[in-house]
Chain A
Amino acid sequence: GAVVSQHPSWVICKSGTSVKIECRSLDFQATTMFWYRQFPKQSLMLMATSNEGSKATYEQGVEKDKFLINHASLTLSTLTVTSAHPEDSSFYICSARARGSETQYFGPGTRLLVL
């Protein structure tokens, strides 16, 4: 149980385009989902937290207009990187937490390369 999927696993795009990443909880209802970014050889960095049906809460320094998060259902959250630039190239990972649980389960991650 507690499986989280992400799609796509890899994406290459041109600078200036937008990219949408999906995060799904497959066998539980995720009341809260988290989006992280990780650069090579660096720690996980929390970008934002989203509760189903509510606006996301962004960490300091993360541009909410650039990283659009939608948590429309208890099993799906999306992250859209708008007008992506090469510096946005990174490993984006989501995690999900069920109601009443403190444990976060991570998706497999999405590698974004912006050319």
Chain B
Amino acid sequence: QLQLQESGPGLVKPSETLSLTCTVSGGSISNTNYYWGWIRQPPGKGLEWIGTIYYNGKTYYNPSLKSRVTISVDTSKSQFSLKLSSVTATDTAVYSCARQVGWGHWYFDLWGRGTLVTVSS
């Protein structure tokens, strides 16, 4: 049973960089049928797609966040990571990693539990 687990600091100071890692277990991150994505949800608000990466490093980003986002993959560790720079209070959210079905389907079929990241001094 494939599982995804987010990890990283729960508190980040304004103007600093938010860094999170998603560890994939029970399956291969290099499976060519899947992509890997990050989604966030501010408290009490809706879902926002941040970006997606393929095992070979190909990335897709939300245009509204693209200037601040970097997503990378480390297949040797079965992990993919998110970096969001110059954070403000509006970046406070539950950040989730998820498996995205490939071959052009563009939907998430498996999610991590999510981790709350608060931006505050």
Binding partners A and B: no
